Amino acid sequence: MLTAAAAPPIHRIGDAPRDCGGRARPIGSSIPGIQPLPPSMPTEIDLATLSMTEIFRLQNLLSQELVRRFESSAAVCFSDIVGSTAYFARFGDVAGRALQQLHIDLLDRTLARHGGRIVDTAGDGAVSCFLSANAATAAMCELQHAVGEENAHRERDHQLVLRIGLHWGRVLTDGVQVTGDVMNLCSRIAASAEPGQIRLSRDAFRELELEHRLRCRPLGEVELKGAGRALALLALDWLDRSRFPVAVLVRETAERIELPLQDLISFGRLDIVEGMSANDVVLTLADPQATRQISRWHFELRRRPGGYALRSVTSHTTLVDGQTLQRGDEVPVVPGSVVSLAGVMTLEFIGNTRPEGTRSDETMIF
């Protein structure tokens, strides 16, 4: 297990109860309908002398006291490294642990700016907690951007890719530990996400302000592995779609290809090389001879803070918005950009994130 940032001060017995953020709650604060333990209750109990009825009563009293003193609402996030098992197998324990530590360090720096804190780490994953779903959402978006900035200086095989889940619910916390079914469900939500994606529950969505709600796309009922049930989930679009296309349209075939949420996306006609994927987006036409005019590796999209940059990696003709590129040339592409490949294929970059017929108010009332 990795070591996260320094934990908050330990909560001692007799201290004021604390919320998920580690802040003290007023002593005597309670939840409506639940009464504190009676003052007359003995401080020492001989369990061997209690009847079954008395044990059940004591159990109920202790449960009520746990809720009264330690239960609160919180936003819980689970961030997980994509493909870490294969990464460890390929590059070894030292490189694998370094990638895990990078995840924790980026997360820790991000949380400090949004009032969150890491409450648990286990191998590839980390659990963080917030008092506000809006703060959690802002932090997870910033984390994905921080990962992208870090990946700009790393080779493709060593880039960090995260999938993130976000949930809102009741937790038990003493200001240090955080526990509850919310934690397990949050990890299942993260596991269902695509690489680079942020997914959130309907409970979390309902806590969001309008600004964040409008960036969410309903996914419907999603079966969660290990949870034994489906849950209504949404995908949070953390990229600015006025600058970042979401898909490409092949004009010759009318095929729409969604862009994966990666910092580097490769395009070319080659599908597999030595048993591994050669390109993230494989480009083919019905005419094999025309397809061969497209290079095996033709160009790359590199995600920058302000948008995608297209970099030519071939000597074959590549035109971006009418500008001819030589091998190694790099130009920005935005929604609406048109790319011509060897005169046989034309790609149009699309920025519309919503399927046809989906209205923005449908997300707002989800």
**How does pLDDT run along the chain (366 residues), one tens digit per residue?**
444 444 444 333 344 455 565 655 544 444 344 445 555 555 677 888 888 888 888 888 888 887 787 778 889 999 999 999 999 999 999 999 999 999 999 999 999 999 999 999 887 899 999 999 999 999 999 999 999 999 988 998 999 999 999 999 988 777 777 777 888 899 999 999 999 999 999 999 999 999 999 999 999 999 998 777 889 999 999 998 889 999 999 999 999 999 999 999 999 999 988 888 899 999 999 999 999 999 999 999 999 988 999 999 999 999 999 999 999 999 999 999 999 999 999 999 998 655 444 444 455 555
Domain boundaries, the chain: 71-239, 247-350
- The predicted structure's pLDDT at residue 18: 56
- The predicted structure's pLDDT at residue 14: 40
Q: Which CATH architecture has domain 247-350?
A: Sandwich (2.60)
The domains spanning 71-239 and 247-350 adopt the same CATH topology: no
CATH number of 71-239: 3.30.70.1230
- The predicted structure's pLDDT at residue 31: 39
- The predicted structure's pLDDT at residue 27: 40
Question: Which H, E and C letters describe the chain, residue by residue?
Answer: CCCCCCCCCCCCCCCCCECCCCCECCCCCCCCCCCCCCCCCCCCCCHHHCCHHHHHHHHHHHHHHHHHHHEEEEEEEEEEECCHHHHHHHHCHHHHHHHHHHHHHHHHHHHHCCCCEEEEEECCEEEEEECCHHHHHHHHHHHHHHHHHHHCCCCHHHCCCEEEEEEEEEEEECCCCEECHHHHHHHHHHHHCCCCCEEEEHHHHCCCCHHHHCCEEEEEEEEECCCCEEEEEEEECCCCCCCCCCEEEECCCCEEEECCCCCEEEEECCCEECCEECCCEECCCCCHHHHCCCCCCCEEEEEECCEEEEEECCCCCEEECCEEECCCCEEEECCCCEEEECCCEEEEEECCCCCCCCCHHHHHCC
Look at the pTM and tell me if it is higher than 0.75: yes
- The predicted structure's pLDDT at residue 366: 56
